[in-house]
């Protein structure tokens, strides 16, 4: 039985209807970013339903318990505002759950009411509800605009706004804002910078939070996350490398404006050239040499790219998800001689199409790139029905198209709710590039095995 048989190949331009969006809601991103800070409890200022949805989406993706508190709006708070709920919540949370930081994000409801969060935080301070040495920070995440990436970006910028300070104690550290990537990617970025001998402050950092080991002990706040002290010191670093303009650009620029820490905003280091640029930026910023071990890692990636080139060559690929991931992935696919022909993201932002145009640079003349609320999975499916592709790359929501159209499918991005591995195996860096190649080849070759006739069914490929 086909799951999406209502999808027609006949594309009608739409302006007021989204069908199966290529994004999710803002507070999920704010919650994910806050989980990358040590001893920080995300707090959803709205009704319980929003908070439950955001927690469960993160839990389904990371397969880890995700802790967050809620202002638990009732009909009364919806009419009179959520100030008293938030004041009560701040007092309760510091008394019962004892975090160092409460990271408040809003929801559609509290945004529509117009709750003034900085004023409520100031009142909580005045009333002595915030213990000494503890913090309440906030970001506005109205989910009727933006997406999870916008919420993530906002919370990362809030970390800068609330904590970073410039002192006379200048340091040789390099700040790394890794963007919305997996805990495994953040761990890999740390490994790469350590291999280069670069001292870094990485924020946020969800490794050891959302990929924490099973130790038999229940820890409400896992060991990972960027400590407040490091967030403060970020204002004294030599420079900042921000990975992914959409998720990390705002925080990097805020840090530059607030503390005069210059920033380099790069694409995510996915694939060969983007990783080269990242390593080079680190090398220049910290004035270090690239160790031979990293050159050899790079060589292994180049080796597989060339050994298996015949399976990549000219394959048409459809991608959906977050802007930063899509730009970096498209560049890598082009380096493999693949053809990213359809690219959609529901995340708004002025520079996505220009970034994609730079990557495509006339190489893929048939490419269709679409952004915004009507750049959805329905449109993607229609394009595929008009002219098929050889590979799908995106989050779990693509599995319906993959099944309906019998197209190999590589899961990548957020959310992935029906597989594991993404939070443990990186896709950034040279090692991550190898992992991506393995996944693409597995999907393409398994399809070839399945579909080939008996005469052309090969043992060696
Ligand atoms: S879209 Fe708005 S109402 Fe819906 S879950 Fe997200 S924040 Fe809550």
CB contact set of 282 (below 8 Å; sequence gap of 6+): 174, 192, 193, 196, 198, 241, 288
Instruction: Report yes or no on 5 lying in a domain.
Output: no
Same domain, residue pair 361 and 445: yes
The total of structural domains in the chain comes to 3
Nearest to 57 by CA among 447, 417, 428: 417
Tokens of 415: 């959310």
**205 and 57 share one domain:** no
CA 235 to chain CA centroid, Å, is 24
Separation CA 203–CA 234 (nearest Å):
9
CB 422 within 8 A of CB 416: yes
CB 121, CB 136: distance < 8 Å: yes
Residue 154 falls inside a structural domain: no
Kind plus residue range of the DSSP H or E element containing 42: strand 40-45
Residue of 57, 107, 140 to test ligand 1 pocket, by largest number of atoms within 8 Å of CB:
107
- Whether residues 232 and 319 fall in one domain: no
What CATH number is attached to the domain comprising 211? 3.40.50.1980
- DSSP category for residue 64: S
d(CA 282, CA 66): 33
User: How far is the centre of ligand 1, averaged over its atoms, from the C-alpha of 143 (Å)?
Assistant: 6
Domain co-membership, 208 together with 275: yes
Whether the Cβ atoms of residue 331 and residue 359 lie closer than 8 Å to each other: yes
Could you tell me if 133 and 280 lie in one domain?
no
Q: Which residues contact 239 (CB under 8 A, 6 or more apart)?
A: 174, 175, 261, 262, 263, 264, 285
Instruction: Quickly count: other Cβ atoms within 10 Å of residue 29's Cβ.
Output: 33
pLDDT of the chain, 461 residues: tens digit per residue:
456 678 888 998 898 899 999 999 999 999 999 999 999 999 999 999 999 999 999 999 999 999 999 999 999 998 899 999 999 999 999 999 999 999 999 999 999 999 999 999 999 999 999 999 999 999 999 999 999 999 999 999 999 999 999 999 989 999 999 999 999 999 999 999 999 999 999 999 999 999 999 999 989 999 999 999 999 999 999 999 999 999 999 999 999 999 999 999 999 999 999 999 999 999 999 999 999 999 999 999 999 999 999 999 999 999 999 999 999 999 999 999 999 999 999 999 889 999 999 999 989 999 999 999 999 999 999 999 999 999 999 999 999 999 999 999 999 999 999 999 999 999 999 999 999 999 999 999 999 999 999 999 999 98
Question: 3-state DSSP call for residue 363?
Answer: coil
Residue that finishes a domain, picked among 295, 329, 354: 295
2, part of any domain = no
Look at residue 196 and tell me if it is in a domain. yes
The tokens describing 338, both together, are 């693949």
CA of 192 to the centre of ligand 1 (A): 37
Q: How far is the CA of 190 from the centre of ligand 1 (A)?
A: 34
Same domain for 134 and 184, yes or no, is no
Task: Looking at the structure, tell me whether residues 285 and 301 fall in a common domain.
Answer: no
Q: Please list, in sequence order, all residues whose beta carbon lies within 8 angstroms of the beta carbon of residue 445, skipping any fewer than 6 positions away.
A: 311, 461
pLDDT tens per residue across span 1-16: 456 678 888 998 898 8
Of 295, 324, 359, the residue that ends a domain is: 295
In a domain, 159, yes or no: no
> Can you tell me the distance from the alpha carbon of 380 to that of 11, in angstroms, rounded to the nearest whole number?
10
What SS3 state is found at 428?
coil
**Residue 85 included in any domain:** yes
In angstroms, the CA 8 to CA 382 distance is 6
**What order do you get walking across the sheet with 174-177 strand by strand?**
200-202, 174-177, 239-243, 263-266
Counting from 1 in the atom list of ligand 1, the atom nearest the Cα of 53 is 5
272 domain residue, yes or no: yes
CA distance linking residue 242 with residue 263, whole number of Å: 7
222 shares its domain with 324 = no
- Residues contacting ligand 1 via CB (< 6 Å): 25, 27, 50, 53, 107-108, 143
E-only strand ranges, 230-338: 239-243, 263-266, 316-320
**Atom 8 of ligand 1: nearest residue by CA position:** 50
The preferred substitution site among 108, 112, 150, 154 for testing ligand 1, maximizing ligand atoms within 8 Å of CB, is 108
Do residues 236 and 305 both lie within one domain?
Answer: no
Candidates 21, 19, 13, 7; CA nearest to 384 is 7
Instruction: Mark whether 301 and 450 lie in a shared domain.
Output: yes
54 and 25 Cβ atoms separated by less than 8 Å? yes
Give Cα 10 distance to the centre of its chain.
33
Q: State the closest ligand 1 atom to the C-alpha of 25, by its place in the atom list counted from 1.
A: 6
Whether residues 225 and 374 share a domain: the answer is no
Q: Which string of b and e fits 434-446 if b means at least 16 CB within 10 Å?
A: bbbbebbbebbee
Which residue has its alpha carbon closest to ligand 1 atom 5?
50
322 and 415: one domain? yes
Among the candidates 145, 160, 189, a domain finishes at 145
Q: Whose CA is nearest to atom 2 of ligand 1?
A: 108
Q: Is the omega angle on the peptide bond into residue 76 within 30 degrees of 0, that is, cis?
A: no
- CB 329, CB 131: distance < 8 Å: no
Q: Could you tell me the residue range of the domain that residue 425 belongs to?
A: 296-455
- The rounded Å distance from CA 239 to ligand 1 centre is 36
* 460, part of any domain: no
Taking only the tens place, the pLDDT of each residue in 66-122 is 999 999 999 999 889 999 999 999 999 999 999 999 999 999 999 999 999 999 999
Structure-block tokens of residue 420: 């594991």
């Amino acid at each position: 039985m086909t799951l999406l048989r209502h999808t027609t190949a006949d594309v009608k331009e739409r302006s007021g209807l989204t069908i199966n969006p290529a994004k999710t809601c803002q507070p999920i991103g704010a919650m994910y970013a806050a989980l990358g800070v040590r001893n920080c409890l995300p707090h959803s200022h709205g009704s319980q339903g929003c908070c439950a949805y955001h927690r469960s989406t993160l839990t389904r993706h990371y397969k880890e318990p995700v802790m967050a508190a809620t202002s638990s709006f009732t009909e009364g708070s919806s009419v009179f505002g959520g100030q008293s709920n938030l004041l009560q919540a701040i007092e309760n949370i510091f008394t019962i759950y004892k975090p160092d930081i409460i990271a408040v994000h809003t929801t559609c409801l509290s945004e529509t009411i117009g709750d003034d969060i900085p004023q409520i935080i100031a009142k909580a301070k005045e009333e002595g509800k915030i213990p000494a040495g503890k913090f309440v920070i906030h970001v506005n995440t109205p989910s009727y605009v933006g997406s999870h990436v916008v919420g993530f970006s906002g919370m990362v910028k809030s970390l800068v706004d609330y904590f970073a300070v410039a002192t006379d104690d200048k340091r040789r550290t390099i700040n790394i804002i890794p963007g919305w990537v997996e805990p495994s990617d953040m761990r890999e970025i740390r490994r790469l910078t350590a291999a280069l001998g670069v001292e870094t402050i990485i924020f946020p950092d969800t490794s050891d939070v959302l990929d924490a080991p099973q130790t038999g002990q229940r820890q409400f706040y896992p060991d990972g996350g960027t400590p407040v002290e490091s967030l403060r010191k970020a204002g004294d670093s030599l420079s900042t490398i921000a990975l992914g303009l959409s998720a990390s650009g705002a925080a990097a620029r805020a840090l530059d404006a607030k503390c005069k820490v210059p920033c380099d905003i790069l694409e995510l280091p996915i694939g060969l050239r983007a990783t080269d640029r990242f390593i080079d930026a680190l090398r220049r910023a910290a004035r270090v040499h690239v160790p031979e071990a990293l050159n050899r890692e790079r060589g292994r990636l180049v080796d597989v790219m060339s050994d298996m080139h015949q399976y990549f060559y000219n394959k048409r690929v459809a991608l959906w998800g977050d802007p930063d991931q899509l730009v970096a992935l498209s560049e890598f696919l082009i380096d493999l001689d693949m053809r990213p022909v359809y690219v959609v993201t529901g995340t708004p932002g002025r520079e996505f199409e220009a970034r994609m145009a730079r990557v495509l640079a006339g190489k893929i003349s048939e490419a269709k790139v679409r952004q915004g609320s009507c750049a959805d999975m329905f449109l993607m499916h229609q394009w595929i029905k008009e002219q098929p592709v050889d590979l799908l790359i995106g989050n779990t929501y693509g599995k319906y198209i993959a099944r309906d159209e019998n197209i190999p499918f590589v899961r990548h991005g957020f959310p992935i709710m029906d597989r594991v591995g993404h939070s443990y195996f990186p896709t950034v860096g040279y090692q991550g590039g190898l992992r991506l190649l393995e996944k693409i080849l597995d999907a393409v070759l398994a399809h070839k095995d399945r579909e080939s006739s008996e005469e052309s069914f090969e043992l060696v490929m």
